[in-house]
Amino acid sequence: MFQPLTKPDLGSASSTAQVYLRPTSFVDRPHELDDVCLRIADTMVWFAAWHVSVREGDRVQSAIVPVPDLDAWIAAMPDRLGEAATAQRAGIARPRGAFHLGERTIRLGEPQLMGILNVTPDSFSDGGKHVDAAAAIDAGFALASAGAAIIDVGGESTRPGAPLLWEGDEIQRVESVVSALAKGGVAVSIDTRKAAVMEAALAAGARIVNDISALRYDDRAMEVVVRAGCPVVLMHAPSAKSDPHEGGSYAHVLLDVYDMLAERVAACEVAGIDRAKIIVDPGIGFGKGVGDNLALVNGLALLHTLGCPILFGASRKRMIGALDNEAAADQRLGGTVALHYQAAGQGAQLLRVHDIAENRQALRVWRGLRDAALTA
């Protein structure tokens, strides 16, 4: 339940209350607003207000607070909430810089594309297209040539109802593909939740681990990432068990997803992973209904307060079909471009997509509009 929030309400917040600061009121000409707007990290996105929410159980109070007024609101908060709000504001400002992935440097000042390469017979959209290693390698190089900064190689389908794959079979599917792409100068991430697969792929040349379970599924996964010193994607899924879609029930999906990712970021830091190497992903479509997914897209900017780059992936996902007369997976390009364009406008640094050329064109138009607004 949402209710308006005022500064006097803050003083009576309970010891279990939580605060959330989400950038809102985005502006395209920050130079005209002097000191009344802020920049999200080192992106090309500025905002003029905060959507401040205080959560106590199922009750959420919210208000829109202009950027210059936030200090007064923090001063009105109990110390614990004020400290949390201050840390979240600092997370927004923290530069995300770049990832140095072997021969490649991926700069995060503007959105970068991650190309999806599923070496599987049963993925929901492209299953069976790249089961042959040679075909998968060719497809990976094609994605890179079309403009993908990173190729995300996956050997196990995690669509709803997909069977669990033995790690040995998963390694067999991905190892030669990762090796060939890496030797060809491509920055490769490995999409897996299994420690043995991570180890094999990293040894073959992968530079990023992309784990849908946020390093919860396999007890050794955290150890592997710490030892490798590589960037890692922590994705939200409601379950760390075999079926990642299991148990998708939320009191407030945006805040629930945020809380889980914040906990996983903290756990990774305790284990020895530098926050600068942690990427967060809201997990669109994983144990979430259409309404949940739409709320996450609209509130995506909240995740910036974690101080990590955001990976957003909604390519060809079912929510698009649900909004467009049950369009089949191969008929969802327009919706894919629209969702990722929206994510770019909220400062997402990495966009995980199947169709590189079309999404790259959309990002070029987005960048052209941003440049024109800044210089006109």
Residues forming the active site = 317, 352
Q: Could you say which DSSP state residue 42 is in? A: T
Query: Please, are residues 347 and 41 in contact by the beta-carbon 8 Å criterion?
Result: yes
Question: HSE on the CB side for 55, CA within 13 Å?
Answer: 17
Pair of tokens at residue 335:
């919706």
Q: How far apart are CA 245 and CA 44, in angstroms?
A: 34
DSSP per residue, 85-154: HHHHHHHHHS---EEEETTEEEE-SS-EEEEEEE--S--TTTTTSS-SHHHHHHHHHHHHHHT-SEEEEE
Pair of tokens at residue 4:
């308006």
Q: Tell me how far apart the 2 most distant CA atoms of the chain are, in Å.
A: 64
Q: How far apart are CA 49 and CA 45, in angstroms?
A: 13
Torsion of CA 193, 195, 200, 205, to 10 degrees: 70
Q: Could you say which DSSP state residue 308 is in? A: S
Question: Could you tell me where the DSSP H helices lie in 20-101?
Answer: 70-75, 79-93
Residue found under tokens 């094999």: 200
